[in-house]
Each structure stands twice: as structure tokens, then as C-alpha cells.
Structure 1
Amino acid sequence: MQLAHAGLPARRKSKWWQSDLLKWLFVGLFSLATCYLIVLMYAQGEYLFAILTLVLVSAGLYVFANRRAYAWRYVYPGIAGMGLFVLFPLICTIAIAFTNYSSTNQLTFERAQSVLMQRQFQTGKTFSFTLYPAANQQWRLQLTHPDNDQLLISEPFSLSGNTAQTVKLAVENSEPGGERATLRDITLNRQALGQLVATLPDGGELRMSSLRQFSGTSPLYTLDQDGKTLTDNQTQIQYRPNPEVGFYQAINADGSWAKDTLSPGFTVTIGWKNFLRVLNDEGIQKPFVSIFVWTVMFSVMTVILTVAVGMVLACVVQWEALKGKAVYRVLLILPYAVPSFISILIFKGLFNQSFGEINLMLSALFGIKPAWFTDPITAKSMILIVNTWLGYPYMMILCMGLLKAIPDDLYEASAMDGASPMQNFFRITLPLLIKPLTPLMIASFAFNFNNFVLIQLLTRGGPDMIGTTTPAGYTDLLVSYTYRIAFEGGGGQDFGLAAAIATLIFLLVGALAILNLKASKMNFD
């Protein structure tokens, strides 16, 4: 009481949920749960995810549990988000670019070897089979001998588990009681039946070879003592892992590599080969250069057209003598309010070569029907038209705001000198608008450089180029070209090559970002 009267504040009694004991208890439980998840990820072979989780969680615990790092609590979520959603995918993409990762080479060496070792081939006779229900939701397997129609019936077993199990067969004179299983029942339990091993009275083993048959099978490959070489038990051909191509490859008698390979392959590091393919392979080099030039032209033309249309319309709707300006503004901004994918799909129907309204109108007026989707030049023109429609409202809104900042005194002085409206536009309006618009124009260029949605929904990159080793089209941008290589390749999905091209795109867009920052700095200095 004396301390309180002396002007010193009395210490508040903390609530139970605000105590340090509860905080450290929560931190401990969270740390244990996180450690368990990290161990699981590491055990599953997801090493990068395990390391990333360990780093982010450790940093988070230090920031939020240490009072000295209090100021970092406001910065950490942003840094963690950037690391998780920007840096980590970027690092993974660059890492994949130096590998042969594809639809045929996406397993680790150990997993690919395990898959090959699980393959079987038929070595004995084929027995037809049926299933009969038993007590306690179990089944009995009946096999019919192919030579003497002898019935071999198993003991009851369950199909509910996913583990391999062995059942013994015995000779019987009659079929088990009950209604035999239908083909639908067998199909539903195919996975469990595939792991079933039926043992004959003489000790032979049978496995399911089709939906109606069990056959004697043996492992197709045998692993040699070196732990890597596989021997084909049918042909006695030996296969060894080739680290240069990522496949088990046959070897000749002299130890050289033969042409035959085993699938699936495994992922290996191949260095700069994917980048060199872009530069040296003519089937990739020619479409890549052509698509790169078109990507730059598309981005530049889009910026020029959207800025030009947006600036002119902004000047028109700001014209004092124009009546109903508010209505015109709303109508001109409406395309910006409609989701872009809806507008693109509508334009795809309007540009339909046979039934589209645009071709019907052009045919009625001029007697022409342009091949919008099959001719490269008209397809590119169509894309520019649609993208200008999608992009001009944004530029118009920006220009409308910037026009308000231009002093009226400049136009009054120009009017006293007898300048025309066109002279005012080119000598006053345009120079004063271009400078603040420059950073936004560079950002628009970078955005359209990777405008995947427009190309994918409107043309899918078509019309396709002929004579290329990778899928490529005349209207493909680099980003859509990368997507087609990764997911639509005729010879298999080549994720490594796609990642290499994506890395090159990142470097180009990064250079544009630096240019944008420099332009912005020059603008505000």
C-alpha cells in the first residue's frame, strides 16, 4: 500500500492462460509435433521439404519465444511466406533443370530397382478360378486343374487387408456351398487377390494372372551380388544402371552399352544438358527462338496498344464538351469488371471460323472469312485484339487519374498561342503522361510476357509448328511452350527441359524487374 501511495504502479496478477508455463508447454507440444512431421518427411525421401520445415519452424520458434526478437515477429510471416512460396519453388525448379526428371525418369534409383524386382513372368500352367463366400465375411478360392478338371479349394481367407498372404489348396470332390462371386466382386478385390499366393499340394505356387486365372509365376529379374546388376531370367540378358541416361541398360559381352533399356528409369543429374539442348537441338532451338521473338513482340505490342487506346479514351471522356461522360466511363470500364477467362471464352466463340459472329459479319460486308485459328498471322492478330480489349480499361483508369494532375494553365497558354487539340495532345498531354506511366508499362510488359491464361484458353498455342521435336505452336508464349513440354510432350513429359526453359524465363523477367526498379527510381528522383 505504501508503494502504491508513493506513485509506483502495483504489479498485475497474470491470468493463468498468460503464464510462462503454459506458453512453454504449447511451444514444447508444437515442437514435438513438428519434429514428428519432419522425421516422417525425411523417411519418405522428401529431404527438401524436411529441411525447409526445420528451418522455418526453428526460426519461428526463436522469433516468437524469445523476447529479444520481438521486433522480428512482424517481419517473420512475410519472410517465411516468401521463402515458402517464392524461393523454395524457384530453387526446386532450378534443381530440376539440371536433372533428367521426366515421366519416364521420376523415381529414385532404389524405387526403380524395387519396381523392376517386383515384376513376374508366367512359368507354369494356367488354372481357372472362382471365389465362394465363407463364414465371417471370408472367401474360399477354387482352382480347376487344366489337365484333369480336378478341383483345388483353399482354406477360408479374408480380402480386407492389403498385405500379402498365402493360402493352401487341397483336392476336393465338390464345389463349396454358396453363390460364386461375380466378375464385379473380383474386380473390386483385385488388389487383394493380386497379393494372394496359392500353394499347390505338391508345393508349387500360383498367383493371379488375370481376372479369371491363376498361373505359376517367377521373378522376371534377379539381382546380382553387386546389388545393381539385373539378370533377365527369361533371356539371361544383364542390365546395369546407366547414370548418364537414368535407365537400366543392357550390356554387351564386351561390357559396352546396348540399345535396350528397362522402364521405369530413375532421376540423375545431367548438368547443363537441358540448357545445351535449347541452344544446340534444332528441333528445340528454332521453335524456341521463334517463340521468344513472338513473346517479346506480343508483350511490346500489347503495351503499346493498351496504352494508346486507354490514353485516347481517357482524353475523350475527360473532354469538357462531351455530354453523358459518366455513362461512357462506366461502359468503357465494364470490360475490366468481367473476369478475363469469361471474356476470352466469349471471344473464342465470336472468332469461330464457321459460326462466329465476326466472320459472319465480315463475310456479309466484305466477302471474307479469315482463318483465325489456323493461319499464324491472323491467329496472332486475334490474340492482340483480345488482349487489347482486356487491358485497355486499366490503362484508361490510370490515365484518367493522371490527367487530373496536369495543370489547366498549360492548356490555356497553348490555346492563346493557337494550338490545335492534336498539338496539345502530343506536346502537353503525352509527354506528361508517359513519364509516370513508364514503370507501369514495364510491369505490364513483364505480366504479358507470362500471360499463360490468354494463350491456353484462346488458341492453346496453335496453329502447331511442323518439324519440331517438342510440341510448339505459332501463338505459344515461352510460358505456354514450357507448359506443353512439361505436360503434353508426345515422347513423354520432359520436366527437366521445361524447368530449364522456366529458369531462362525467370532470368528474363528478373532483368525486367530490375529495369522496372531503376525506372521507378529515376522517375521519383
Structure 2
Amino acid sequence: MGLSASKQPPAKLSIWLKVLLIALVVVLNGYAIIAMYANGEFAFALLTLVIVASGVYVFTSKKTYAHRYIFPGIAGMVVFIIFPLVYTIGISFTNYSATNLLTFNQVLQQFESKTYTDDSGAFKFGLYQRGEDFEIIVEQGELLYSTGPIELDSQSAVSIAHELSVLNAKPSEKPLAIKAVIQNKDALDKLILVTPNEQELVRKGLREFAGIKPLFTPLLQDGQSSYSLPNGETITSEFAKLNVKDGRILIPNMETGYFQYLDDQGELTGRGLKPGFTVGVGWEHFKRVLTDEGIKQPFVQIFVWTVIFATCAVVFTLAIGMLLACLVQWEELKGRAIYRVLLILPYAVPAFISILVFKGLFNQNFGEINMILGNLFGISPAWFTDPVLAKSMILIVNTWLGYPYMMILCMGMLKSIPDDLYEASAMDGAGPITNFFNITVPLLMKPLAPLLIASFAFNFNNFVLIDLLTGGLPDIIGASTPAGETDLLVSYTYRIAFQGDGGNNYGLASAIATLIFLVVGALALLNLRIMKKNAN
């Protein structure tokens, strides 16, 4: 009894510590969920809620005791693989772009907060020192207004309103010099001065305040359910706005994701006012890829080049890697260890360094490669401007970077081939070349097949090589999106997402990324089928 009693306090302590830890996790993540929901990040709020709720259930329920060991891995897969994939696919069905980043409510608030300077004229002002505070005296003609002693707070995150009172006479002292106004510029910019007749003034210049009014007011006033246009049509949108300055009507276009003005016939006119808001566009981006010649032609061309590049990358690296592996395994070769080290060095050097070195070597004007070609043959190839030469250069550099990996794989697999096969073949009079094609290659290809598929998938998305070496250049003539002759699908997607003219088109880029996922996913399934077949 005494022994069991002595063990009770530590057990209770561990239980309380577990409860406190779970409570802390719930409180912190609960606050994060509320903050994300308040900022309109509904998807991230829902993801956090699901992960935290699942985690609390798994780690507190006896029924799920065994699952707590695999929960971190599953949660990581959901957060870093499944959620980004689903989120990307979701974006592909929207007009999400640099000009359509915000939600409808955020854009609506921006238009409602727009103001303009009215025609009441400018109000000159003077800044006076009052101890540690300041006094602002505003004048318009013979009228004088004063804020009284106020504190100028430049750290305030919002505008501060101060009511003005009528002043009978100017102070006897002179206002502070313009230097003091400049020093307090940020604080003065946050002031809203309200005159006795409720006119709001904001700083317009170094020595002036001016009246401001809301630029847009609701078209439908209280109690109104519709607004009739001169042509007889009616507007029922509660979000319609009236431009006070010019009398034009502004309404949201839920198809394009922009606020647009109406013309005299009640039709939407213009391209829309920025910023725009995010709306669903259905299969529009996928249709553009298939029907818009400015996108379809570059997409097909880049897709074909991507497949050719990935295939050639695998074939070239495998051929050179396998050949070199056989040579360095040749027992008659002296200094094999040194050759192995030298041949593996390209794999040891970081890829981005090697790529930048090759970029300098292939430079048309100052590169060592053109210097040698010029001295020997009198030619200076345009490696970066000619599409064929640029693609050839990419394959050369990629082969240099990739052959050591294949060589290492083949070196390990060559040891598993029985020497008896080569001895029997030698007795039949076969030479090294015959043995290579009849014994070595067939026996290596079967275990290498899944790795070759994985290599194909890697090169299919080899963004770093293209981005650092050519940047996708030279450009494809006639393309309506950023597209280059040497672009792979992954770099093409990146350029659409982050280098597009007139607003980065994340929606279109996500649609192309979804198509890439389908292709790479098919390769992954093929890889699994081959591995399963080999296992059997």
C-alpha cells in the first residue's frame, strides 16, 4: 500500500501536466483560428480547426491510443501535401490574381472609405507650441478656428478627429517654422479637424487643410428597394454606389470581379476599377488553355519540350552513368578509386553553383566555350538567343549534373550481377560490347525502372535549372502569357503566376499546375505498378 501510495502523486502530476498542455494548445490555436477567420482566411482557419480537433481527440481518447504515433505524420501530410494541393485546385476555378487578391467585402470597404477634396477652398493653418502640446489655428478668410492644446501622435494607427472652436483673434506670437510642420508631418496627416458646421478638414499641403467628403454613397437610401434608370431599367443591388463627384453609378460585376460604372444605357462600361475582388470563374482557365491560341500554342509547345527534355535527361544521364560505372568497375583499370572520386564530384557541388558556372562558360561574348570554338572553328554560337542551341545547352548542363547519380546507382547494381554470366559469355566468344548490351543493360534496367520513372518526374519539374540558366528565354513570339522556348511547364506556370503583365494570374497558373499534377500523378501510379510487378 505504501509503495502504491508513493506512486500516486507523480501519476496525478503527469495527468495534470497533460491537461494543461492540451488546454494551452487549444487556447493558442483557438485564438489563431478566430484571428484567421476574422481576416477572411476561412480555408486556413478550417484546416487549423480540423487538425487541432483531431489531435485533441486522438491524444485524449483511449479508443485512438495506437493512432497517436502516426498522427504527426498524417497531420504533416495533410498540412504540407493535401491542403496545398486542394487549395491550388480551388484557386484554379477563381480569378485570383494580383489585381483580384481581396474579398468582396474588403474591396467594398475600400470604395466606401474613398474621399475627395470638396470645393470649399483651402484653410490655411499655423502650428503653435503650447508647452509639450501643440495648437493648430485654421483660418479661411476672416474666420478663425482653433483645436486648443492637443498632442500630436504620429504612432496612432487610425485617424484622430478634433473639434474646432471659433477663435476671435490670432495669437500675438508667430507660428512655428515650416521645419516644425515637416517634423510633425505624420501626426498632422492623421488629424481630422471638424468645424462647428461639421465640415471635416484634412491636411492638404504644408500650410493648408481642406475639406473632404465621401466619394461614394449608397445608391439605395434607407427604405429604397430599387433605383430606376432613365431607360426604364431598375437597379436592385444593395452594393450599388453613387459617385458624388460626377453622379455616375458604380455597381459590382460578379462575373469579372470588378466594380464598374454604368453608361447612359445602363450597360457596364470600362475595364473595372482596381482593386478587384475574387470570384469563381468555373472552368474558364482550363478552357483558355485549350482554346486561346495565345495560350494553347505555347502550352502545347512547352508541354512537348518538357516531355522531350525529361526523356532526354533520363536517357543521356543513364547512358553516360551506366557506361562510366562499367569503366570504373573494370578491374584492369588502374587508379579506379581516383576516377570514381573525380566523376562523382559534379554531384557533390551544389547544383545552383554549377549552373551559374555553366551560364558564364556559355556566354556568347565572354564565355570560354565560345572562345575555344572561335579559335578552333571561327564560330560563336548564340547559346541563349537561338531556341535550338538554348535547348541543347540545357541538355548538356543537365547531363553533367545528373550522370553521377546514375553512375552511383549502376555501380551498386553491377556488384549484384554474377561473374559467372560474363565468364560463360566469354567462353562463347563474346566481347565487352556484346556483354554490355546482352548482359549488363538487361539486368540493370529491371531494378532501375522505378528510379528512371522517378528521375523522369523530377526532370519534368526541374525548375531550378531553367530559372538559373536561361530564365525560359528566348520568348515565344505571339504568346499572350509569359512563355519561353526553353520553359518547362513548371517554369511556365511560375512566370504566369509571378511575371504576368497587367496582374499576376494565379488562377491560370493554378490551372496549369493542376494539369501538371495530373501528369506527374499518372507517372507516380505507373511507378507503383512497376514496383509491384517487380516485387511479384
* CA distances 1:171-219 after superposition (whole Å, capped 9, x unpaired): 62555565543576356x2xx4333112346653321335664322222
- Measure the CA separation in 2 of the matches of 1:88 and 1:239: 37
- Measure the CA separation in 2 of the matches of 1:408 and 1:35: 65
- Measure the CA separation in 1 of the matches of 2:128 and 2:377: 75
Name the counterpart of 1:491: 502
Structure 1 residues 116, 406: closer, same or farther in 2, change over 3 A? same
RMSD of aligned Cα (Å)? 2.4
Deviation at 1:506, TM superposition (A): 0.6
Assess if the C-alpha contact under 8 Å between 1:131 and 1:181 holds in 2: no
1:37 aligns with 2:32: yes
Assess if the C-alpha contact under 8 Å between 2:152 and 2:184 holds in 1: no
Deviation at 1:120, TM superposition (A): 1.6
The 3-state SS of whatever aligns with 1:322 is coil
- Measure the CA separation in 1 of the matches of 2:330 and 2:124: 88
1:265 aligns with 2:309: no
- Measure the CA separation in 1 of the matches of 2:330 and 2:413: 14
Name the counterpart of 2:51: 56
* Most deviating of 60-69 and 340-349: 60-69
Structure 1 residues 201, 66: closer, same or farther in 2, change over 3 A? closer
| Aligned residue identity for 1:28 | A
Assess if the C-alpha contact under 8 Å between 2:200 and 2:211 holds in 1: yes
Q: 1:367 aligns with which of 375, 378, 396?
A: 378
Name the counterpart of 1:318: 329
Name the counterpart of 1:475: 486
How do 1:426-441 and structure 2 match up within 5 A? 426-441=437-452
Structure 1 residues 11, 413: closer, same or farther in 2, change over 3 A? farther
Gaps of 5+ in 1: none
* CA distances 1:256-296 after superposition (whole Å, capped 9, x unpaired): 32235221111111100011011111111111111100110
Name the counterpart of 1:354: 365
Assess if the C-alpha contact under 8 Å between 1:130 and 1:181 holds in 2: no
| Aligned residue identity for 1:157 | E
Deviation at 1:157, TM superposition (A): 2.8
The 3-state SS of whatever aligns with 2:64 is helix
Deviation at 1:113, TM superposition (A): 1.0
Name the counterpart of 2:223: none
The 3-state SS of whatever aligns with 1:352 is coil
Name the counterpart of 1:194: 189
The 3-state SS of whatever aligns with 1:68 is coil
Name the counterpart of 1:164: 159
- Measure the CA separation in 1 of the matches of 2:463 and 2:207: 49
| Aligned residue identity for 2:269 | A
Name the counterpart of 1:524: 535
* CA distances 1:57-94 after superposition (whole Å, capped 9, x unpaired): 11111111223322111110110000000111111111
Q: Once the two structures are aligned, what percentage of the paired residues are identical?
A: 54
* CA distances 1:483-512 after superposition (whole Å, capped 9, x unpaired): 111111112111111111111111111001
1:402 aligns with 2:397: no
Assess if the C-alpha contact under 8 Å between 2:127 and 2:181 holds in 1: no
Deviation at 1:34, TM superposition (A): 2.5
Q: 1:92 aligns with which of 69, 79, 87?
A: 87
Assess if the C-alpha contact under 8 Å between 2:126 and 2:175 holds in 1: no
Gaps of 5+ in 2: 221-236
Deviation at 1:237, TM superposition (A): 0.9
1:420 aligns with 2:431: yes
* CA distances 1:136-168 after superposition (whole Å, capped 9, x unpaired): 3x44446575x78x9866432322322222232
Name the counterpart of 1:230: 241
Deviation at 1:129, TM superposition (A): 5.5
Structure 1 residues 11, 427: closer, same or farther in 2, change over 3 A? farther
For normalisation by structure 2, the TM-score amounts to: 0.90
* Most deviating of 234-243 and 26-35: 26-35
The 3-state SS of whatever aligns with 1:461 is coil
| Aligned residue identity for 1:135 | G
Deviation at 1:415, TM superposition (A): 1.1
* CA distances 1:394-430 after superposition (whole Å, capped 9, x unpaired): 0000000001111101111111111111111111111
Structure 1 residues 230, 357: closer, same or farther in 2, change over 3 A? same
Name the counterpart of 2:353: 342
